[in-house]
Structure formats: C-alpha cells, structure tokens
C-alpha cells in the first residue's frame, strides 16, 4: 500500500499569499496517477487537480501541481478567501487507492 | 447536472451490518465511462477508499475491508449500494458515494451521510 504523507498539517496564511502543499509517497509512482481534492467544512471533497497537470472544471489557474517520483506539490499562487479549506492528495496508480491525511489552510 | 445522494440508517449496532444506498440522478449508472465508488471519513480524520464498482458487477475493494464489504448495483432504480458486515466503532464515519472517472479520480460526490456504530 502506498502511504501518502502531507505536510504541513496546518498552514495559517493571509489572502493574497502563495501557498505550497506537500504530498510525499512511500513508493514511487507517476504523477499522472495523482489527484488533489479540496474539502470545505461540512461539505464533500471536490476534485481540483488530476493527473500531471489537469485542472477540474471551473478550477482557476492559480492552482498548479509539480513533482515526480515520491514528492509532489500543490501550489496556490495567490490565496483567495474561497481557497481556505483542507486539501487531500490521492494516488490511484495502485490498489488500494489511498489519500493523504490532509493539509488545512486556514486564515491567519 | 449529475447528483448523488446517500441514504440509510444513521445508527448501527456493533456486529451488525451497515447498509447504504446511493441514488444517482442527472445521469445513467449504466454509462460505459464511469465506475461508482464509496469513500468514508471518520470524524475529524482523512479519507479512506472503500471500493468501486462498474454497473456490470465488476468490483474493486480495499483489501483491508474486503472480507466485510460488498457493493451492488440496481440499474432499474439508478442506484448502487454498500454493505459492510460486522461493524465496530472504528467504522463510524461519514460515508460518501462518488462517481469515478476513467482516469480514476472522483469527480462527483454525494453530500455524505454520517453512520455511527454504537449500542
């Protein structure tokens, strides 16, 4: 099983700041098998990024991803108020599909 | 617009069977392009994949739950279901149903339903 470790656990930032979220895997896999989800309080997760660079419908280009092998990053270039949420990475390259434990981006 | 809605008991006794149904509207569960899945989230914790299924009956389960989980599809009602046997308090979670794309991401989710395992 591929274990995904996200860091940091919580980030306290202000609107307008740049944020980088890390997702580290216990085994190497291709970035095309990585996805990122955003979850707001009381809501279901929603897909924001899939594969190496695909943004889900309606996701602005301030969201981007990078990385390879075991280290992957989600970057939000400039935080908007609606971006404060918990972010999860997910791998679907091998079974079982696994998620990271999440990084919370909160308002400072 | 595709919508998914979970339904089922919110309280299940230990050792009994958890049963949930996901009703799909705005799209057909028999689409050749999608699988249908279940993901759960214990209170205050992260996401755990339970399993996926195709309308033909093909299923993929998390090995950690495989001995207790089963999924089924009801094409006449555009629904699919989850059964989890011999539940314990560790199975207390919000259970989400979701559509899995051919790229294996989950692009539509239900709102989730909290299932508490307690006597």
* Per-position DSSP letters for B11-70, written without gaps between them: EE-TTS-EEEEEEEESS-TT-TT-EEEEEEE-TTS--EEEEEE-TTS-EEE-TTTTTTEE
Residue A40 has which token pair? 């707001």
* pLDDT per position as a tens digit, B52-107: 999 999 999 999 999 999 999 999 999 999 999 999 999 999 999 999 998 789 99
Q: Alpha-carbon distance A95 to A98, whole Å?
A: 8
Query: Chain B contacts of A50, Cβ < 8 Å?
Result: 101, 103, 105
Q: Residue with structure tokens 């399993």? A: B51
Q: Hey, of B44, B48, B105, which one would you mutate to test binding to chain A, going by the most A CBs within 10 A of its CB?
A: B105
Distances (CA, A) of B86 to B9, B50, B70, B80: 15, 15, 12, 20
Q: Alpha-carbon distance B53 to B72, whole Å?
A: 8
Distances (CA, A) of A64 to A54, A59, B2, B6, B48: 9, 10, 26, 32, 24
* pLDDT per position as a tens digit, A52-97: 788 999 999 999 999 999 999 999 999 999 999 999 999 998 889 9
B112 to chain A, minimum CA–CA distance in Å?
Answer: 7
Contact A33/B at CB under 8 A = yes
> B60 forms bridges with which residues in the sheet?
B52
Query: Chain A contacts of B95, Cβ < 8 Å?
Result: none
Q: Alpha-carbon distance B68 to B83, whole Å?
A: 8
Contact A56/B at CB under 8 A = yes
The answer to whether the CB atoms of A101 and B46 lie below 8 A apart is: yes
CB A52 within 8 A of CB A60: no
Query: Chain A contacts of B3, Cβ < 8 Å?
Result: none
Determine what percent of chain A is predicted with pLDDT higher than 90: 88
Q: Alpha-carbon distance B65 to B49, whole Å?
A: 10
């Amino acid at each position: 099983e591929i274990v995904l470790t996200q860091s940091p656990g919580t980030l306290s930032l202000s609107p307008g700041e740049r944020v980088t979220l890390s997702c580290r895997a216990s085994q190497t896999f291709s970035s095309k098998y990585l996805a990122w989800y955003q979850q707001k309080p009381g809501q279901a997760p929603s897909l924001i990024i899939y594969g190496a660079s695909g943004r889900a419908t309606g996701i602005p280009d301030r969201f981007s991803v990078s990385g390879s092998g075991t280290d992957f990053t989600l970057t939000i270039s400039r935080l908007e108020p609606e971006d404060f949420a918990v972010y999860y990475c997910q791998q679907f390259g091998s079974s079982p599909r696994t998620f990271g434990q999440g990084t919370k981006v909160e308002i400072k | 617009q595709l919508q998914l809605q979970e339904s089922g008991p919110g309280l299940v006794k230990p050792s009994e069977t958890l049963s949930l149904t996901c009703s799909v509207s705005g799209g057909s569960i028999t689409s050749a392009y999608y699988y249908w899945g279940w993901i759960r989230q214990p209170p205050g914790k992260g996401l755990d994949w339970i399993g996926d299924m195709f309308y033909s009956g093909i299923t993929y389960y998390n090995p950690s739950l495989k001995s207790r989980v089963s999924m089924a599809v009801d094409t006449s009602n555009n629904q699919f279901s989850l059964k989890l046997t011999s539940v314990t308090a560790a199975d207390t979670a919000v259970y989400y149903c979701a559509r899995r794309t051919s790229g294996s991401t989950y692009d539509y989710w239900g709102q989730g339903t909290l299932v508490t395992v307690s006597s």
